[in-house]
Homo-oligomer: A and B are copies of this chain.
Amino acid sequence: MTTPPDVLDASDPLAAFRDRFVIDDDLVAYLDGNSLGRVPKATVERLTTFVRQEWGGRLIRGWDDSWVDLPVTVGDELGAALLGAAPGQTVIADSTSVNIYKLLHAAAGMRPGRDEIVIDATNFPTDRYLVESVADARGMTVRWLEPDLIDNVTVDVLAGALGERTAVVVLCQVDYRSGTLVDLPALTALAHDAGALVLWDLCHSAGVLQIGLDAARVDFAVGCTYKYLNSGPGSPAFMYVAERHVAEATQPIAGWWSAADLFAMSDTYEVAPTIRRMLSGTPAVAGIVAVQEGVRLIAEAGVDAIRTKSEALTAYTIELLDEAGLEVATPRDPALRGSHVTVRHPEARSIAEQMIARGVVPDFRESDLIRLGLSPLSTSFAEVAAGVRVLVDLAAGTRR
Contacts and interface: CB of A to CB of B under 8 A. Distances in A.
B237 A137 contact: no
Nearest to A362: B60
Interface stretch (A43-51, A182-190, A212-220, A307-315): A43-51
Interface stretch (A91-99, A191-199, A239-247): A91-99
Contact of A237 (B97, B254, B281): B281
Interface residues of A, number: 80
Contact of A132 (B101, B234, B269, B286): B269
A128 to B, nearest CB: 7
A76 interface: no
Contact of A236 (B22, B259, B284): B284
Contacts of A288: 234
Interface in A94-152: 94-98, 100-101, 121, 124-126, 128-130, 132-134, 137
B52 A255 contact: no
A24 interface: yes
A115 to B, nearest CB: 17
A233 B285 contact: yes
Given A280-B95, A281-B96, A253 B133 contact: yes
Interface string A1-36: 000000000000000000000101011001010011
Given A98-B94, A130-B255, A281-B98, A286 B232 contact: yes
B366 A264 contact: yes
A365 B286 contact: no
A51 B256 CA distance: 31
A284 B95 CA distance: 9
A55 B257 contact: no
Contacts of A387: none
A90 interface: no
Contacts of A57: 24, 26
B32 A97 contact: no
Contacts of A263: 366
Contact of A233 (B55, B130, B234): B55
Interface stretch (A61-69, A296-304, A321-329): A61-69
B51 A44 contact: yes
A97 B224 contact: no
A97 B60 contact: no
Contacts of A24: 56-57, 59
B125 A361 contact: no
Contacts of A134: 252
B39 A51 contact: yes
Contacts of A264: 366
Given A39-B51, A365-B265, A253 B98 contact: yes
A276 to B, nearest CB: 13
A292 interface: no
Contacts of A96: 255, 281-282
Interface of A: 22, 24, 26-27, 30, 32, 35-36, 38-39, 43-44, 47-48, 51-52, 55-57, 59-63, 67, 94-98, 100-101, 121, 124-126, 128-130, 132-134, 137, 224, 226, 232-237, 252-259, 263-267, 269, 280-288, 290, 356, 361, 363, 365-366
Given A125-B265, A126-B256, A286-B290, 18 more contacts: A24-B59, A36-B59, A43-B51, A44-B52, A47-B48, A60-B363, A67-B233, A95-B255, A96-B255, A96-B281, A125-B256, A129-B254, A133-B254, A134-B252, A232-B286, A234-B281, A286-B286, A287-B287
11 contacts: A24-B59, A36-B63, A38-B59, A39-B55, A44-B51, A96-B282, A124-B256, A126-B257, A128-B269, A233-B285, A286-B290
